[in-house]
Amino acid sequence: MNRNQPASVKPWHQTNWDWRAALNFICGGTGTGLLVAAALFGGAAYPWLALVALAFVGFGLFWVWMEIGKPWRAINVFFHPHTSWMTRESIVAGPLFLAALAAAATGKGWLIVLAALLALAFLYCQGRILKASKGIPAWRAPAIVPLVIATGLTEGMGVAAAALAAAGGLADRTPIIVLVVLLVAREIAWRRYRSALAASGAPRGTLDVLGRMHRPFSVAGNWAPALLLAASLLVQSGAGGLTIIAGAAAALFGWYAKFTIVARAAFNQGFALPVLPIRGKGERVPGAKPGWQKPAGG
């Protein structure tokens, strides 16, 4: 870096959202994805799958509450539905719990569908929460929304497939095929997200963190589980074990990805200097944006 460039203007890692905020996206995504998977393929197992899903969502919301500086003022989060996607997420959470609990208790089809639709709304709100954070380039990219939705659905389907296989209730192979499709969709969403950041420019710290994440997430989190699931479709003996491993990997690496994006890659905008300040008289020095990777081709 040019010695005239002040280091204090470089992007620095935000500290407002840490692992507790990441847990909201991790658990909320898995829980809502699991509610959708249970609605589609749960059958007789729907009641306990729905309760597990709500436990995930509730655990994530608990850690958001714990992160708030004054947690007993958390009621204020409900007062801004016209401007805040976090408010909208919180508003959806109440009906989501009521519908899912009623569906688990009664088994009525319309309640199961309602709970799944509310779960999708909750998951969409999570993606929009990140996109609305304009000061964090890793979050504000529009491609973050399909990535959050894709990984939440993949995690939920992975947990459902693994749980049903472990309980001996996965006679139908359709959930396995759906999980393979979701893994491919998540890989596509991930690559589009990285490409979007490279095209628009991002802090070097963000790109470095995501670059280190790419291979384990892509290979071990998406392609390997997809191949294991494909193998489980071709064999009889050991198919359940392969499904359990693949489903667990689909969920665990989704958690890894969201923790990395929320808690590790979240460098803020930094500052751009149109003209660098020079002490005394001298030639005009071109401006700079320290710590920032220029857009691809820019």
Query: Which domains are assigned to the chain?
Result: 15-268 (1.20.1630.10)
Tokens of 33: 């994805």
* Choice between 293 and 186, residue whose per-residue pLDDT is larger: 186
Q: Which pLDDT tens digit goes with each residue over 20-71? A: 889 999 999 999 999 999 999 999 999 999 999 999 999 998 887 766 655 5
Q: Which pLDDT tens digit goes with each residue over 73-92? A: 555 555 556 667 778 888 89
Q: How far apart are the first and last CA of the chain?
A: 19
Report the candidate in 24, 33, 25, 23 with the shortest Cα–Cα distance to residue 159.
33
SS3 category, 203: strand
Q: Which pLDDT tens digit goes with each residue over 199-228? A: 988 888 999 999 999 999 999 999 999 999
For 232-284, the DSSP string reads HHH-STTHHHHHHHHHHHHHHHHHHHHHIIIIIS-B-----EEE---SSS-PP
- Which letter does DSSP use for residue 285 in this model? P
The packing angle between helices 239-259 and 19-41, to 10°, is: 140
Tokens of 114: 């309602």
**How big is the chain by its Cα radius of gyration, in Å?**
22
Give the integer Cα–Cα distance in Å for 245 and 170. Answer: 14
Give the integer Cα–Cα distance in Å for 62 and 7. Answer: 38
Give the integer Cα–Cα distance in Å for 151 and 250. Answer: 9
Buried residues in 55-86 as b, exposed as e (16+ CB within 10 A)? ebbebbbebbeebeeeeeeeeebeeeeeebbb
Give the integer Cα–Cα distance in Å for 206 and 62. Answer: 28
Provide the pLDDT for residue 4.
44
Give the integer Cα–Cα distance in Å for 55 and 191. Answer: 31
| 0.85 surpassed by pTM | yes
**Banded model confidence at residue 2, pLDDT cuts 50, 70, 90:** very low
Report the candidate in 63, 68, 88, 69 with the shortest Cα–Cα distance to residue 78.
88
